[in-house]
Structure 1
Amino acid sequence: MAEPSWISLTTDYGLTDGFVAACHGVIGRLAPQARVIDVTHLIPPADVRRGAAVLAQTVPYLPWGVHVAVVDPGVGTRRRGIAVATEGGLLVGPDNGLLVEAAEALGGIDRVVELSSPGWLAPQVSRTFHGRDVFAPVAARLATGSPLADAGPAVDPADLVRLTPPTVRVTAGVLTAEISIVDQFGNVQLAAEGGLLDPLPDTVVVAGHVAVRGRTFADANPGALVVYVDSADRVAVAVNGGRAVDLLAVRVGDLLTVTGGWG
């Protein structure tokens, strides 16, 4: 296994407080040679499903390293802190389903440990800031080559918390799928894999709105809807020059229907 020299951070901490800087500071003190990539700190607060989707869609494009994710509404409870080894990198964060999809995107889970070795954590661990006191110091030690097994006891991967799979249904003539991400441009990503668009005709109906099936935004007229396969190989809906989320009046977690193409 290659020694990681990169650490990525994905959190719901926002940018108005010092939480992100504190995590950077802990990493800088313990692993000054490690390079840190901030994936995002703008995951909606406590939105574990959104954090899991963003993490899973991003980590395959990052350098081999340690990927810290903290969207942790159960901080301070009996939920475990874990580190997960995969072929494509290491993942560190809470055992609340946040890391599993990313682990699968990196080649699958090889090993899991519970983060409980005192020497790996801050001398005093806050009940409400495990990003600073647990996950950042663990990531720093892993990035400097400390063995994963020293971080704590092994955990059976089958015992990890997993999120309920998002809804995706294909019935006669209708694709129904849960909205997984709305990006800053207002594009609406569904949980459905891109291949489900293959049988569709050139014109479809999305939640009662006529849309074209295209490959990019400009395949629709200005202000019109386009259904396409996005960069994460998911079915997505956009408005050429506008915001699909506003036109459709939807939000993450809603079910969206795309009609046409299946007999």
Structure 2
Amino acid sequence: MTPVITLLTDYGLADGSVAACHGVIVLTAPQVRIIDVCHLVPTGDVRRAAAILAQTIPHLPPGVHVAAVSPVGASRGAVAIEAGEHVFLGPDNGVLSWAVTAAGGARTARELTNEDLFRKPVSPTFHGRDVFAPVAARLATGLPLAEVGPEIPQERLVALRTPTSLVRDDEVEGEVLSVDDHGNVQLSISAADLGVVGVRPGGTLVVWLGRRHVSLPFRETFAAVPPGELVAFTDSAGLVVLAINTGDAAQRLALPPGAHVRLSSGSRRTPPESL
């Protein structure tokens, strides 16, 4: 089977950074197939990158997965984590944690300290090219994971807090998992959670934001409502998304990543709409 390396970064596409990572991999291991997961993660948005990788990993072949996303200026020790049939490389800032869980949990974790594997000289601001790319290429073509550096206790790894989803009586509580470039708000709540409280496509959903609330249709796609109107639908990951047809739902609803929300059926008695 052709070895696979995937790349997820916040480098953007306006310069040659992504191409440089590709080049280092191909020069080291020309037989490797490279899959670009995403390079348009907002700069340093670890949570957004973690969500993208975790939701993509079930659809990726076994391989080595690089997630080079870190806040500018942050201290970022490099780690390799083996989980299931996958090896994840990235800064130890939590960006890998949700994907590792999605892959079945970590079996072993190691620090990337073997400088013989790095591209020289190592730029302090471009570990994607000089550390992760060459190490990924070597691992994908058979280098034992033990060669990258010493094993570290898994409890020492930085992990993002697991997103919440709780069915309580006739409501589902959750949080904003991520917001994309269009202002679509992905929640930690699944369509299955909504089904438990009686909300299904074609019905009405009430979104509670603290003391505020808004009622909106629950449909199959955002295009099911006229331009400018709010709608909820289930995305390809099975999660509930709040959106506006040709608009920015995150801005209108004032919902940043991590914000707490409650959802209930529109058939429940509610006060007059407040948004």
TM-score of Structure 1 vs Structure 2, range by shorter chain: 0.7 to 0.9
Question: In structure 1, how many angstroms separate the alpha carbons of the residues matched to 2:62 and 2:268?
Answer: 41
Query: Which stretch of structure 1 is more off in the superposition, 158-167 or 109-118?
Result: 158-167
CA contact (8 A) 2:2 2:33 kept: no
Q: For each residue in 1:202-229, what CA deviation from the matched residue of structure 2 results, as whole angstroms up to 9, or x when unmatched?
A: 22223533212334445x4424433333
Q: Which amino acid aligns with 2:218?
A: R
Q: What is the DSSP-based 3-state SS (H/G/I as helix, E as strand, rest coil) of the residue aligned with 1:155?
A: coil
CA contact (8 A) 2:48 2:179 kept: no
Unaligned runs of 5+ in 1: none
Q: For each residue in 1:181-237, what CA deviation from the matched residue of structure 2 results, as whole angstroms up to 9, or x when unmatched?
A: 23345432102233221113422223533212334445x442443333321121222
Kindly tell me the number of residue pairs found equivalent between the two proteins. Answer: 259
Q: For each residue in 1:62-112, what CA deviation from the matched residue of structure 2 results, as whole angstroms up to 9, or x when unmatched?
A: 1211110011227673x4211111213111111111111111111221111
Q: Which amino acid aligns with 1:65?
A: G
**TM-score calculated relative to the size of structure 1:** 0.87
Question: In structure 1, how many angstroms separate the alpha carbons of the residues matched to 2:123 and 2:260?
Answer: 38
Q: What is the DSSP-based 3-state SS (H/G/I as helix, E as strand, rest coil) of the residue aligned with 2:215?
A: strand
**TM-score calculated relative to the size of structure 2:** 0.83
Q: For each residue in 1:139-176, what CA deviation from the matched residue of structure 2 results, as whole angstroms up to 9, or x when unmatched?
A: 01011111111111112222211112335455555444
Unaligned runs of 5+ in 2: 270-275
Tell me the residue number matched to 2:33. 35
Tell me the residue number matched to 1:229. 234
Matched, 1:161 2:162: no
- CA-CA distance at 1:246 after TM superposition: 5.0
Q: Which residue of 109, 122, 130 maps to 2:119? A: 122
Question: In structure 1, how many angstroms separate the alpha carbons of the residues matched to 2:116 and 2:168?
Answer: 54
Matched, 1:97 2:98: no
Change (3 A) 1:200 1:103: same
- Between the aligned residues of both structures, percent identity stands at 47
Change (3 A) 1:67 1:75: farther
Q: What is the DSSP-based 3-state SS (H/G/I as helix, E as strand, rest coil) of the residue aligned with 2:192?
A: helix
Q: What is the DSSP-based 3-state SS (H/G/I as helix, E as strand, rest coil) of the residue aligned with 2:243?
A: strand
CA contact (8 A) 1:4 1:144 kept: no
Question: In structure 1, how many angstroms separate the alpha carbons of the residues matched to 2:34 and 2:50?
Answer: 19
Question: In structure 2, how many angstroms separate the alpha carbons of the residues matched to 1:122 and 1:76?
Answer: 21
Tell me the residue number matched to 2:50. 52
